C-alpha cells in the first residue's frame, strides 16, 4: 500500500512532449526551395542548345537552296545569252548575202559552202558506220552440229588463206630447138609461194624446204623459155607443181601456186 504513491509521483515528474500538428498551407523552407529550383538552369541550357542546333540546320538547308537557285539562274542566263548570240550571228550571215560589199558576200557564201560540206561529210560517215555495223560478221558460236563448224572453218580458210614461202629459183632452162643467138642466156629467176589447207601443212613445207625445192627444180629445168613466157605454159607449170607436192603430202593439201616474181633472160 505504501508503494503506490511513489509510482504516481514518478509519472508526475516526467516532462510532457507536446504533439506537433502539420499546417496545410505552411510555406516551404529555404533549403527545400533551393534544392528544387537547382535543375532549372540545366533545363534552360538544354532548351537553348536544341534551339540553336535547329536554327543552324535550317540555315544550312536554306543556304543549299539559295546556291542551287543561283546556279539555275546563271545557267538560264548563259543559255539565253548563247541563243541571242546565235540569233545575231545568223542574222549577220543572212545580211552578208545581200551586202553591197563584195568581200562580205564572198565570205558569207564560203561559210555556207563550208557548213554544207561538213554536213555532207558527217552524213557519209554516219552512213558508212551504220553499213559497217550491219554487215559486221558476228563471232561464231560453236554448236553441236559438226558440219556447221566445218563449213565455218572452210569459210575462214577462204577469207584468210594459209601460205608457205618456198623461195627464189635461179636456174638455166632447157635449150630451145632453134639456134640461140650469141649473148642470149636461157636463165630464169622465179619466186614461188604455195597456198596450203592449214597451218600444219604450211609448217611441214617450211620445215622440208630442201625436198620441196628439189621437186620444183626438177620441173623447172624441163621447161624452155617459150613455155614460161606463154600464159598457158605458166598455168601448166603451176598445175604440175601442185600435183607433185600433193603426191608428196599424200592428199589435196596444196590449193594453189603463185609466181610472185618471174624474170626470164
pLDDT at 230 over 50: yes
The closest alpha carbon to 243, from 252, 232, 230, 233, belongs to 252
Q: What are the φ/ψ torsions at residue 251 (nearest 5 degrees)?
A: 160, 170
Domains and CATH numbers, the chain: 162-264 (3.30.479)
pLDDT at 128 over 90: no
What is the sign, positive or negative, of the torsion defined by CA atoms of 29, 35, 39, 41? Answer: positive
- Band the pLDDT of 37: cuts 50, 70, 90: very low
> What is the full DSSP assignment across the chain?
--SHHHHHHHHHHSPPPPPP---TTPPPPHHHHHHHHTTHHHHHHHHHHHHHHHHHHHHHHHHHHHHHHHHHHHHHHHHHHHHHHHHHHHHHHHHHHT-S-HHHHHHHHHHHHHHHHHHHHHHHHHHHHHHHHHHPPPPP---S-HHHHHHHHHHHHHHS-EEEEEEEEEEEPBPPSSPPPTT---EEEEEEEEEESSHHHHHHHHHTHHHHHHHHHHHHTT-BHHHHHSHHHHHHHHHHHHHHHHHHHTSS-EEEEEEEEEEE-
Model pLDDT, residue 12: 46
Which tens digits make up the pLDDT trace of 70-90? Answer: 888 888 888 888 878 888 878
Top-ranked range on mean pLDDT: pick from 26-30, 48-52, 165-169, 219-223: 165-169
Model pLDDT, residue 149: 72
Model pLDDT, residue 29: 45
Top-ranked range on mean pLDDT: pick from 20-24, 34-38, 127-131, 242-246: 242-246
pLDDT at 226 over 50: yes
Q: What is the mean pLDDT of the chain?
A: 74
Could you tell me the pTM of the whole model?
Answer: 0.41
> What is the rounded average pLDDT of the residues 17-34?
47
Amino acid at each position: 500500500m505504501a508503494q503506490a504513491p511513489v509510482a504516481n509521483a514518478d509519472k508526475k515528474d516526467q516532462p510532457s512532449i507536446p504533439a506537433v500538428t502539420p499546417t496545410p498551407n505552411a510555406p516551404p523552407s529555404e533549403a527545400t526551395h533551393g534544392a528544387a529550383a537547382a535543375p532549372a538552369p540545366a533545363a534552360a541550357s538544354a532548351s537553348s542548345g536544341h534551339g540553336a542546333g535547329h536554327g543552324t540546320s535550317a540555315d544550312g538547308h536554306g543556304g543549299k537552296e539559295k546556291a542551287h537557285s543561283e546556279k539555275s539562274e546563271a545557267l538560264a542566263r548563259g543559255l539565253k545569252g548563247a541563243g541571242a548570240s546565235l540569233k545575231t550571228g545568223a542574222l549577220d550571215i543572212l545580211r552578208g548575202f545581200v551586202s553591197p560589199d563584195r568581200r562580205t558576200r564572198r565570205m558569207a557564201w564560203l561559210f555556207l559552202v563550208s557548213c554544207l560540206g561538213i554536213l555532207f561529210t558527217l552524213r557519209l560517215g554516219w552512213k558508212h558506220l551504220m553499213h559497217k555495223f550491219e554487215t559486221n560478221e558476228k563471232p561464231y558460236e560453236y554448236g553441236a552440229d559438226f558440219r556447221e563448224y566445218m563449213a565455218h572453218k572452210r569459210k575462214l580458210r577462204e577469207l584468210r588463206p594459209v601460205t608457205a614461202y618456198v623461195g627464189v629459183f635461179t636456174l638455166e632452162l632447157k635449150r630451145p630447138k632453134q639456134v640461140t643467138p650469141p649473148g642470149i642466156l636461157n636463165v630464169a629467176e622465179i619466186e614461188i609461194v604455195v597456198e596450203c589447207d592449214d597451218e600444219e601443212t604450211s609448217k611441214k613445207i617450211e620445215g622440208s624446204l630442201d625436198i620441196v625445192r628439189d621437186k620444183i627444180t626438177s620441173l623447172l629445168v624441163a621447161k624452155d623459155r617459150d613455155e614460161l613466157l606463154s600464159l598457158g605454159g605458166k598455168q601448166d607449170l603451176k598445175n604440175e607443181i601442185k600435183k607433185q607436192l600433193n603426191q608428196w603430202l599424200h592428199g589435196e593439201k596444196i590449193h594453189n601456186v603463185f609466181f610472185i616474181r618471174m624474170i626470164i633472160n
